[in-house]
Amino acid sequence: MSQVAEAPSSGSSDSDAPADASTYDGLALRQLEKDFGAFRAVRSLDLDVPRGSFFALLGPSGCGKTTTLRMVAGLESPTSGTITLAGQDITYAKPYQRPVNTVFQSYALFPHLDIYENVAFGLRRRKKGDVDAQVREMLDLVELGSQVRKKPVQLSGGQQQRVALARALINRPEVLLLDEPLGALDLKLRRSMQIELKRIQDEVGLTFIHVTHDQEEAMTMADTVAVMNAGLIEQMGAPAELYENPRSTFVANFLGQSNLIDGTIKSRAADVVTVDMHGIDVSVRADRTHTQGDKGWIGIRPEKVLIGEEGESLDAPGNTVPGGVVTDVSFVGVSTQYLVRMPWGQELQVFSQNTGRHRLFEEGERVELSWRPEYAFLLDASQDASAGAQKIDSDG
| Residue whose CB is less far from ligand ATP, 36 or 110 | 36
Interface with ligand ATP (CB under 6 A), residue from 16, 22, 23, 36: 36
- Residue list 328-367, contact with ligand ATP (CB under 6 A): none
65 binds ligand ATP (CB under 6 A): yes
DSSP notation for 325-373? EEEEEEE-SSEEEEEEE-TTS-EEEEEEE--SSSPPP-TT-EEEEEE-G
63 binds ligand ATP (CB under 6 A): yes
Q: Which window, 63-71, 169-177, 194-202, 355-363, contacts ligand ATP (CB under 6 A)?
A: 63-71
| Residue whose CB is less far from ligand ATP, 221 or 376 | 221
232 binds ligand ATP (CB under 6 A): no
Q: How far is the CB of 289 from ligand ATP (least distance, A)?
A: 30
Interface with ligand ATP (CB under 6 A), residue from 52, 62, 322, 323: 62
Q: How far is the CB of 10 from ligand ATP (least distance, A)?
A: 19
Q: How far is the CB of 109 from ligand ATP (least distance, A)?
A: 22
29 binds ligand ATP (CB under 6 A): no
Q: Which residues contact 176 (CB under 8 A, 6 or more apart)?
A: 100, 101, 102, 103, 168, 169, 206, 207, 208, 209
Q: Which residues contact 154 (CB under 8 A, 6 or more apart)?
A: none
Residues 224, 55: contact at Cβ < 8 Å? yes
Q: How far is the CB of 227 from ligand ATP (least distance, A)?
A: 12
Residues 11, 3: contact at Cβ < 8 Å? no
64 binds ligand ATP (CB under 6 A): yes
17-22 contact pairs (CB < 8 A, 24+): 18/46, 18/48, 19/48, 21/82, 21/84, 21/87, 22/84, 22/87
| Residue whose CB is less far from ligand ATP, 57 or 155 | 57
Interface with ligand ATP (CB under 6 A), residue from 9, 53, 66, 245: 66
- Give burial (CB, 10 Å; 0-12/13-18/19+) of 256: middle
Largest CA distance in the chain: 77
Q: How far is the CB of 211 from ligand ATP (least distance, A)?
A: 6
Residues 50, 110: contact at Cβ < 8 Å? no
| Residue whose CB is less far from ligand ATP, 106 or 264 | 106
Q: How many residues does the chain have?
A: 396
Residues that bind ligand ATP (CB under 6 A): 36, 41, 59, 61-67, 213
